[in-house]
Amino acid sequence: MQIPAYFHPSYAPADVPLLARLATTHQRLKRLGLITTQVAQPLSPTQLQGLHDPAYLDAFIEGREPLASKQGIPWQPNIRDATLAMLGAQTQAAQALFGTQGVALNVARGFHHAHPAAGSGFCPINGLALVAHLWPQKRILVIDCDEHGGNGTEEFAALMPNLFNVSLFGTRFGCRGGTRSWAFHITARQGFGAYQQALATTAQLVAQIKPDLVLYQAGADCHQADPKSQLKLSTRQLFWRDLYVFSLAKSLRLPVLFVLAGGYQNAEKVAYLNANTVRAARWVCGSKK
């Protein structure tokens, strides 16, 4: 079985290193035969109305400084175009998954640090909260396993009654838990057992919430060799994490849309870790190759 994976070359402008590596991951996934590529269609900016502060949204779409670059990457048109393409795919994939027990990948960033007022932490527009925004009648649950806590999604969860956020992280980044949001700060000193316990608690929360869709932020930056990692998870532990999340969704018959977040090692190493996440999804869905 191949995983449906949404991607467009505009995701990965060559002159923006944080995004260019998405093309390296996509190429590796294709070469290994792990995915079938679905062509991403850009989101119309009108679909963003009401998600973030309108002054910030207008500035980001039109390139007006200083707000346009507030998320941390100097603004240029290809940053906007990459963002709209990733967000468009997020909505395409969600629409295809509702009412199924399927799994799909957006070879993109979730942009979980973008908060209602503006972008932040290299995240222009929150693509996780966007799904809850566009489908207010659906219960959307985010399982965020990035090295950095999903503070922006947490702020959105307090405003959106259909959005729930669970973050497991080594670096807090302002994420502390709150309304419809649970924060699990785990350090390498606590050991992988503490991480496993947090995932077990997450499983209980998912079973209670019974979402219509799980959004899984599969961060690679909590890997032990990543320069930003405080969690220091091994390659094997990251694969166990991914197996756990996909198995949890399968056991509850929930659809999963996952994104490939974080990762500050070289692009090939990040692509290797990303491919392991896709392998975990395939394993759970029936193919163990």
Mean pLDDT in residue range 41-70: 97
Range of the domain at 126: 3-285
Contacts of 27 (CB under 8 A, 6+ apart): 271
Tell me: the pLDDT tens digits for 150-169? 999 999 999 999 999 999 99
Intra-chain end-to-end CA distance of the chain, in Å: 9
Tell me: the pLDDT tens digits for 64-105? 999 999 999 999 999 999 999 999 999 999 999 999 999 999
> What residues form DSSP beta bridges with 233?
223
- Looking at every residue in the chain, the average pLDDT score rounds to 96
| Residues 23/24/26/28 CA torsion (nearest 10 deg) | 160
What CA–CA distance (Å, rounded) separates 252 from 245?
Answer: 11
Tell me: the pLDDT tens digits for 174-213? 999 999 999 999 999 999 999 999 999 999 999 999 999 9
Structure tokens that stand for 192 in this block: 């992988």
pLDDT of 286 above 80: no
* Polymer length in residues for the chain: 289
What CA–CA distance (Å, rounded) separates 284 from 137?
Answer: 29
Res 194: pLDDT: 97
Tell me: the pLDDT tens digits for 132-141? 999 999 999 9
Q: At what angle do helices 235-251 and 267-285 cross, to 10 degrees?
A: 30
Asked if residue 109 lies in contact with residue 150, where contact means CB atoms within 8 angstroms, the answer is: no
- Residue 281 is given by DSSP the state H
Res 177: pLDDT: 96
Mean pLDDT in residue range 245-273: 96
Tell me: the pLDDT tens digits for 206-254? 999 999 999 999 999 999 999 999 999 999 999 999 999 999 999 999 9
3-state secondary structure of 165: strand
- By percentage, how much of the chain surpasses pLDDT 70? 99
Res 1: pLDDT: 83
In 3D space, the residue among 179, 246, 262, 261 whose CA is nearest the CA of residue 214 turns out to be 246
What CA–CA distance (Å, rounded) separates 94 from 79?
Answer: 23
What CA–CA distance (Å, rounded) separates 237 from 234?
Answer: 5
Structure tokens that stand for 2 in this block: 């191949």
16, 79, 231, 278 from 172: Cα distances, Å: 26, 26, 11, 26
Number of domains in the chain: 1
Tell me: the pLDDT tens digits for 5-26? 999 999 999 999 989 999 999 9
What CA–CA distance (Å, rounded) separates 270 from 26?
Answer: 11
What CA–CA distance (Å, rounded) separates 171 from 149?
Answer: 6
DSSP 61-74: HHT-TTGGGTTSS-
pLDDT band at 287 (very low <50, low <70, confident <90, very high): low
Instruction: Give the DSSP H or E segment for 213.
Output: strand 213-217
- Residue 4 is given by DSSP the state E
In 3D space, the residue among 146, 128, 152 whose CA is nearest the CA of residue 56 turns out to be 152
Residue in the structure block whose two tokens are 């489908």:
135
Q: What is the pTM of this model?
A: 0.96
Kindly report the CATH number assigned to the domain that includes residue 197. Answer: 3.40.800.20
